[in-house]
Amino acid sequence: MSLLYKSTRNSQKVVTASEAILKGLAEDGGLFVPEQLPKLDVTMDELKEMSYQETAYVVMKQFLTDFTEEELKECIQKAYDSKFDTEVIAPLVKVEDTYYLELFHGATIAFKDMALSILPHLLTTAAKKNHVTKEIVILTATSGDTGKAALAGFADVEGTKIIVFYPKDGVSKVQELQMVTQKGENTAVVALHGNFDHAQSGVKALFEDKKLAKELDEAGYQFSSANSINIGRLVPQVVYYVYAYAKLLQNGEILEGEPINVTVPTGNFGNILAAYYAKQMGIPIQKLICASNENKVLFDFFETGKYDKNREFVLTSSPSMDILVSSNLERLIYTVSGQDGEKNAQFMEELKTKGAYEITPDMKERMGDFVGGFATETETAQMIHDTYHNTGYVMDTHTAVAAYVCKKYQEETKDTTKELVVSTASPYKFVKSVMTAIDDNYASEEEFALIQELERVSGVEVPNAIKEIQNANVLHTRECDTDKMKEIVKEILKIS
C-alpha cells in the first residue's frame, strides 16, 4: 500500500515519501506527516531475533513506500556500518532497575547519528527517483548535535552542499570544535549571534522565502533540510524504539505485550515524537515522559495546554535542549486536532505573532500518553554525581535530565512499569560539566585537560570523535547576525 504525506497546515495536497524528504519543509511552512500512521507487519517473535539493520528495514518500509526494497536496504547498509563503535548500533545498558538506550555510538557521539547516517542516502536516492538535476543545499539550524552529525553525513556527498547555523555561545566547546573543524568541499558552518530559536526561525524563514527560492532555482540549487522537520530524519528515529522493545523482550527483561515507559530528554520534540510513532505502530509504550531542562516550555505546555515561548532563554549544561520553539510539536498538535490543517496553521500563526497559543481541552485530553517533567541545573548535576558514585555509570548532561525526571515520576506516581531512558550523547561531548558534577574539584580544570580523567573515571576509551578534534585545524570562521542569514547563504552559494 502506498503511504502519502501531507502538510500539517494544509490537508489537501499530498506528496510521496521521497518528495517529502527532498522538500524537507512544505511550501506553506508546514511539516510533512503521513496520511495515517502505519502498523508493523511482523510479530514480536520475529522482531526480537532481528539485527538493528533488519529492524530498520521492517519499520522504514512502512513509511517510505515509494522506495524499492533494494533501494531502502542499500541505504540502511551504507548507514549502519563500521561508523558505529558497537556492532549492535544501539546498545541497552541496565543500571540498577532502569534501562538506558545508548544512542551515541556513531561517528559524532550523539543520537543524531542514528538518523543523519542514513538521511544523505535517502535524500540522494529520492533525488534520483524524482529526476532532480539541481544541486541540493542542506540548510540546517543546530543546538549542538544535529550540525556535526549532518556535516559528517553530507561531507563530499555528490550533488549536495550543506550550510549549518549554530548559536555562537550556545553549544559546548567540544560541539563547536566538532563543527568548525569539519572537512569537506561542500560544507559551510556559520556561528550566529543569537540563540538556537533565532537560528531555527531564521532557517524556516529562508525556506519560506519565495524570492530566494527563485534565485536558487536560477542558480541551479534547491533547499532541503537535515533538521528533524524533515520526515527523512524522523522515520529512522522510530526504529530504535522498536528495536529496544524487541531486545528487552529477547533478553527476558519483559514479557511479550508488557508495557514500558519511555523517558526522552527533549528539545525540538522529534525524538519523543518518534517514540509516539512507534507506539502507534504497535509497540506497547505506556507513558511518554517528556524531560526538559530549565527551558521548560514543554513541561508547562503538558501541564496547562498553553504553549508560551515568552520567557527567559536559559543557557544550561544540556545545550541541545536549550530550545523554546519545539518545531516537531506541530506534528503532534496536528494529530490531536483531528488532522485539522486550518486549525493547526492558526496555532502556528499565533506562535509566530504572539509567541503563544492554547489548545482546546479535547486536544489536551488526546495527549494523555504524554507526561512532562523537568530538571534544574542542580538536579541534573546531582543525578550525574549520584549515579556515578552509586553504580559507576557515567552519563552526559542530557541523559541526566531524563534520568532525574524518570526517577521523580516513579517516586511521585508509584508507577512500577519498566523504564527506558533514552541516552542521547556521550559524556565526552560535555566533559567539563560531567566531570564537575562527579567532583567539583574539577571545576577549575580546562575542558580538554579532563578528557583523560573522564577515561579513567568511566573506564570507557576516548572516542575517535574526540581524538580527531584535539589537534584539528579550524576550517570555518564565518559569523553573522540573525538578520544577515540570507546574505551569508547567498555569499556561500555565490549567488549575487
Q: Which residues are catalytic?
A: 112
d(CA 496, CA 487): 9
Burial of 99: CB neighbours in 10 Å, binned 0-12, 13-18, 19+: buried
d(CA 79, CA 73): 10
The separation between CA 342 and the C-alpha centre of its own chain, rounded to angstroms, equals: 27
* CA dihedral (324, 327, 328, 333) positive or negative: positive
d(CA 166, CA 482): 11
d(CA 270, CA 329): 8
Task: Please answer whether residues 363 and 337 qualify as being in contact, where contact means their C-beta atoms are separated by less than 8 angstroms.
Answer: yes
All 3 cell numbers of residue 34? 503521513
* 3-class secondary structure per residue, the chain: CCCCEEECCEEEEEECHHHHHHHCCCCCCCCEEECCCCCCCCCHHHHCCCCHHHHHHHHHHHHCCCCCHHHHHHHHHHHCCCCCCCCCCCCEEEECCEEEEECCCCCCCECCHHHHCCHHHHHHHHHHHCCCCCEEEEEEECCCHHHHHHHHHHCCCCCEEEEEEEECCCCCHHHHHHHHCCCCCCEEEEEEECCHHHHHHHHHHHHCCHHHHHHHHHCCEEEECCCCCCHHHHHHHHHHHHHHHHHHHHCCCCCCCCCEEEEEECCCCHHHHHHHHHHHHCCCEEEEEEEECCCCHHHHHHHHCEEECCCCCCCCCCHHHCCCCCCCHHHHHHHHCCCCHHHHHHHHHHHHHHCEEECCHHHHHCCCCEEEEECCHHHHHHHHHHHHHHHCCCCCHHHHHHHHHHHHHHHHHCCCCEEEEEECECHHHHHHHHHHHHCHHHHHCCHHHHHHHHHHHHCCCCCHHHHHHHCCCCCCCEEEEHHHHHHHHHHHCCCC
Kindly report the CA angle at 295 between 290 and 296, in degrees rounded to 5? 40
Task: Please answer whether residues 90 and 115 qualify as being in contact, where contact means their C-beta atoms are separated by less than 8 angstroms.
Answer: no
